A and B are shown apart, each in its own frame.
Chain A
Amino acid sequence: MIDDIDRRTVLGILGALTALWIVAGLVFPDSWAGVLLSITASPSTHTAMLRLAVPIALAALGGIFAEKSGVINIGLEGLLIVSAFSAIIVTFWLGSGESTMLLSHHWWGFAVGVLASTLFALIFAIVCIDFKADQIIAGLAVWLIALGLAPFASRIVFDSPNTAGVGRFQNVTIPVLSEIPFFGYLLFDTPPQVYLMLGATAVGWYLLNRTAFGRWVVASGENPKALDTAGVDVRKVRYAAVVLSGVFAGLGGAGFALGQLGTFAGGGETAIGGRGFIAIATYLFANYHPIGALGGSFLFAGLEALQIQLQNLGYAVPTELIRTIPYVTVIVVLVFVGKTRLPEAAGEAYDSDED
């Protein structure tokens, strides 16, 4: 019905609009375009963008592995909540600012956060792969359980759905490299979770595109029967991919909690506030490409950073409307831009007929 528009055309149009905006901003620095341009170009917006991108990029990376293998993981939001919350609470229990076995308690909390998310992903994998549950329903269940569990546990410990503050990760500054003009401060003088995000994206891209495991993951989602015929256990590949999605989402949730939030609000939508769903939007937008998903998360996190900066400067911003932009984008991409296609066997349990 609707003609697919080439991704390049879309990028071209966006590029032209951006160029127009930059010119307008430079010529009329007092206009809206000029103010927006100066904020967009300010270093504090860039650092905020990188930090806000962490949960989105890492959850999206996890979602790519799970969905590529044929298991749609709608529960990413739940994994982010679980890892963020448990990282904070464990750091609090151990006592923030101290260390055990030469490792600061923030890192112990971080490790437990990743472990908790991995454990949840493992349960999700068992339910979907061995018990052949509907993946969408099971994913929703993971989200709802996490949504209840975080404020539940928080009330027991803190008597409130919000946890106490535990402080944040310090910036890690790499000498010499951080002195590089323009982007040195951005990439080499930043809290550890940003390094983790960039590193994990590179590892994820390599794993998916350059290794046998990556090929198995893709085959398991597109044509599990063929993979089975080739002698690879589809069940094991899917287990590995889903557990990996838990590890990545856990890195994102725990890193965001300890590096950015420093506390966890468990009421309502929780402090994660739908970032797991933005992650789903992001990887669909990027058509399952890990580096594209990183770029997409920069885009969506950049919008959030921009809006926060505008509000700090006292501009009246339709916050709620700006928040819908990622969601509108993904619908537009799904509808008008071709080639975003779910893997052939995504959502279906695979039965090897060997029982």
Chain B
Amino acid sequence: MRDDIERLLDRLVHASVVERVVISVAALFAAILVGGVLVFVSGGFASCRAGLDLAGATFCYNPMQVYYELFLGSLGHPLGGDWTPMNYSLATTLRQTTLLIFAGLSVAVAFRAGLFNIGTQGQLIVGGMLTAVTVLFAASYVPGGFVGTALLVPIGVLAGAVGGGFYGAIPGALKAYANANEVITTIMLNFIAIGVTSTLLSWRFQDPDSANPQTRPVPEYAEIPNLPFVGFSGRMDFSLLALGFAIALMIAVAWLLARTSFGYELRTSGTQPEAAAYGGVDEKRMTVASMTLSGALGGVAGAFWVLMQHGYWLENVPPLGFDGIAVSILAGNNPLGVGFAALLFGILSSGANSINTATDVPPELVGILSGLIILFVAMPEFFRMIGRRYVDVGDPAPVRADGGEADD
């Protein structure tokens, strides 16, 4: 029996794909555990009428209840009575999932090429703004109704991809031709994106009818349409069509990376740059190309954020790009894994609302949880050390920022 378990553990730890899944799941549980302890302890500092009295202090928060609300509340409480699949909480979860698939893919593509794109947030901001501005401009030349939707939505998404792709190409070119570290330049470009878009907004594109810093809304027919009969209601800001497109794009990126020569060259320049160079890959052009592709995916995230969630671009952009980093890291930078990781982070993001309404625990807990998940996924060695207490494991090979294997 013990031999069987040892053999199983041994195989688990040695197989690289399985190993990454195990590490991701272990990191998730470790983060939930630490988060639970944090919730419980901080309950001792909160004031409430009824709580758990322990050692002279009153602990107000129940971690089990918090996680119950987080995971089941985000699906609209499927265990309770009168549950319908088309509820608002589930729509929020799936909307976040859709946006995070794009953002996660953006980070994953760069990672696989050996580049750490922290700039997805900036690419999303720029792409989203270009989407709103382009659609507003094009709407005056395009008829309304179905034709308008069929023309304006693709134009908007394309504009987002172009804007994000251009903004991603900048750090790519700086890396390729001036050897500027992409981690630093993308962080700086995030702040530059915020400054430039805000300036453009107040200079030209501000909605005169709104007190909020935002553009004019695009016509209703330019928003992502809902599926009739089976879809969610339009007020929920989520469309199954968008989720379908995200999943299709995810499969396309997976296929691009795994089955095409471009994908092969991209992955090789990530894991073995010297081998790629000997194989005839132009390293500089590959750097620019992969950052452009990564930026374009970030821009698409921005386009869907504008066309699905709000119908206009606003200055206060949620940190989808940073969550995209978490999604990609949790997914081991695997495009198909991004789908699952995006669903998890979609649940976290929507569950924050349920925590806020159903418990006294501050919803910012969710931000701490995503930070903890990233921290634990980043240290596979920690879990290997725990694993090594039970089985003899071979050489450790830490996950690197560039998605490659460590070279010793």
Q: Kindly provide the distance from the CB of A282 to the nearest chain B CB, expressed in whole angstroms.
A: 12
Q: Kindly provide the distance from the CB of A141 to the nearest chain B CB, expressed in whole angstroms.
A: 4
| Chain A contacts for B367, CB-based, 8 A | 144-145, 147-148, 152
A-B contact list, 12 entries, CB within 8 Å: A131-B379, A134-B398, A135-B401, A137-B378, A149-B364, A151-B364, A155-B362, A156-B45, A324-B191, A331-B180, A334-B180, A336-B178
Q: Kindly provide the distance from the CB of A296 to the nearest chain B CB, expressed in whole angstroms.
A: 14
Interchain CB contact under 8 A, B379 and A132:
yes
| Chain A contacts for B68, CB-based, 8 A | none
In B366-401, which residues have CB < 8 Å from any A CB? 366-372, 374-375, 377-379, 381-382, 385, 396, 398-401
- Among A141, A281, A320, A323, max chain B CB count under 10 A is at A141
Interchain CB contact under 8 A, B382 and A335:
no
Q: Kindly provide the distance from the CB of B102 to the nearest chain A CB, expressed in whole angstroms.
A: 19
Q: Is A212 an interface residue (CB 8 A)?
A: no
Cα distance A281–B399 when bound, in Å?
A: 27
Cα distance A175–B367 when bound, in Å?
A: 49
Contact indicator per residue, chain B 85-114, by CB within 8 Å of chain A (1) or not (0) = 000000000000000000000000000000
| Chain A contacts for B188, CB-based, 8 A | 277, 281, 327-328, 330-331
Interchain CB contact under 8 A, B181 and A334:
yes
The binding surface of chain B is classed by DSSP as: helix
B residues contacting A by CB (< 8 A) are: 42, 45-46, 116, 118, 174, 177-178, 180-181, 183-185, 187-189, 191-192, 194-196, 198-199, 202, 316, 322, 325-326, 329, 362, 364-372, 374-375, 377-379, 381-382, 385, 396, 398-401, 408
Interchain CB contact under 8 A, B378 and A134:
yes
Top 3 A-B pairs, shortest CB-CB distance:
A148-B367, A144-B371, A145-B371
Q: Kindly provide the distance from the CB of B38 to the nearest chain A CB, expressed in whole angstroms.
A: 8
Closest residue to A333 on the B side, CB-wise? B180
Contact indicator per residue, chain A 286-320, by CB within 8 Å of chain B (1) or not (0) = 00000000000000000000000000000000101
| Chain A contacts for B185, CB-based, 8 A | 331, 334
In A121-157, which residues have CB < 8 Å from any B CB? 127, 130-138, 140-149, 151-153, 155-157
Instruction: Choose from B198, B364, B381 the contact partner of A133 (Cβ within 8 Å).
Output: B381
Closest residue to A151 on the B side, CB-wise? B364
- Among A145, A146, A336, max chain B CB count under 10 A is at A145
Q: Kindly provide the distance from the CB of B58 to the nearest chain A CB, expressed in whole angstroms.
A: 13
Cα distance A157–B46 when bound, in Å?
A: 7
In A326-355, which residues have CB < 8 Å from any B CB? 327-328, 330-331, 334-336, 342, 347, 349, 351
Instruction: Choose from A2, A148, A157 the contact partner of B371 (Cβ within 8 Å).
Output: A148
Interchain CB contact under 8 A, A323 and B195:
yes
Q: Is A1 an interface residue (CB 8 A)?
A: yes
Interchain CB contact under 8 A, A321 and B368:
no
Instruction: Choose from B191, B316, B398 the contact partner of A349 (Cβ within 8 Å).
Output: B398
- Among A130, A133, A153, A266, max chain B CB count under 10 A is at A133
Cα distance A334–B174 when bound, in Å?
A: 9
Q: Is A34 an interface residue (CB 8 A)?
A: no
Instruction: Choose from B42, B174, B191 the contact partner of A156 (Cβ within 8 Å).
Output: B42
| Chain B contacts for A135, CB-based, 8 A | 401
Interchain CB contact under 8 A, A331 and B382:
no
Q: Is A249 an interface residue (CB 8 A)?
A: no
Q: Kindly provide the distance from the CB of B317 to the nearest chain A CB, expressed in whole angstroms.
A: 11
Work out how many contacts link A and B, with CB atoms closer than 8 A.
154
Q: Kindly provide the distance from the CB of B126 to the nearest chain A CB, expressed in whole angstroms.
A: 13
Interchain CB contact under 8 A, B183 and A155:
no
- Among B118, B188, B381, max chain A CB count under 10 A is at B188
Number of interface residues of A (CB under 8 A): 54
Q: Kindly provide the distance from the CB of B255 to the nearest chain A CB, expressed in whole angstroms.
A: 27
Interchain CB contact under 8 A, B368 and A320:
no
Q: Is A184 an interface residue (CB 8 A)?
A: no
Interchain CB contact under 8 A, A155 and B378:
no
Interchain CB contact under 8 A, B192 and A324:
yes
Q: Kindly provide the distance from the CB of B143 to the nearest chain A CB, expressed in whole angstroms.
A: 37
| Chain A contacts for B377, CB-based, 8 A | 137
- Among A143, A155, A156, A280, max chain B CB count under 10 A is at A156
Q: Kindly provide the distance from the CB of B63 to the nearest chain A CB, expressed in whole angstroms.
A: 14
Closest residue to B375 on the A side, CB-wise? A141
Q: Is A36 an interface residue (CB 8 A)?
A: no
Interchain CB contact under 8 A, A152 and B375:
no
Interchain CB contact under 8 A, A153 and B42:
yes
Q: Kindly provide the distance from the CB of B44 to the nearest chain A CB, expressed in whole angstroms.
A: 10
Cα distance A336–B174 when bound, in Å?
A: 10
| Chain A contacts for B194, CB-based, 8 A | 320, 324
Closest residue to B367 on the A side, CB-wise? A148
Contact indicator per residue, chain A 176-195, by CB within 8 Å of chain B (1) or not (0) = 00000000000000000000
Instruction: Choose from A133, A152, A327, A336 the contact partner of B379 (Cβ within 8 Å).
Output: A133
| Chain B contacts for A144, CB-based, 8 A | 322, 326, 367-368, 370-371, 374
Closest residue to A325 on the B side, CB-wise? B195
Q: Is A74 an interface residue (CB 8 A)?
A: yes
Interchain CB contact under 8 A, A148 and B382:
no
| Chain B contacts for A327, CB-based, 8 A | 188-189, 191-192, 195
Interchain CB contact under 8 A, B191 and A136:
no
Cα distance A133–B383 when bound, in Å?
A: 11
| Chain A contacts for B399, CB-based, 8 A | 134
Interchain CB contact under 8 A, B374 and A334:
no
Cα distance A277–B185 when bound, in Å?
A: 11
Cα distance A147–B367 when bound, in Å?
A: 7
Q: Kindly provide the distance from the CB of A89 to the nearest chain B CB, expressed in whole angstroms.
A: 10
Instruction: Choose from B316, B370, B371, B401 the contact partner of A134 (Cβ within 8 Å).
Output: B401
| Chain B contacts for A133, CB-based, 8 A | 375, 378-379, 381, 398
Interchain CB contact under 8 A, A156 and B362:
yes
| Chain B contacts for A323, CB-based, 8 A | 191, 195
- Among B199, B371, B385, max chain A CB count under 10 A is at B371
Q: A136-B183, A141-B375, A284-B184 are in contact. Are A320 and B329 (CB under 8 A)?
A: no
- Among A161, A323, A324, max chain B CB count under 10 A is at A324
Q: Is A274 an interface residue (CB 8 A)?
A: yes
Q: A137-B401, A148-B367, A155-B364 are in contact. Are A320 and B178 (CB under 8 A)?
A: no
Interchain CB contact under 8 A, B381 and A131:
yes
| Chain B contacts for A132, CB-based, 8 A | 379, 381, 396, 398
Instruction: Choose from A137, A152, A266 the contact partner of B374 (Cβ within 8 Å).
Output: A137
Q: Kindly provide the distance from the CB of A239 to the nearest chain B CB, expressed in whole angstroms.
A: 16
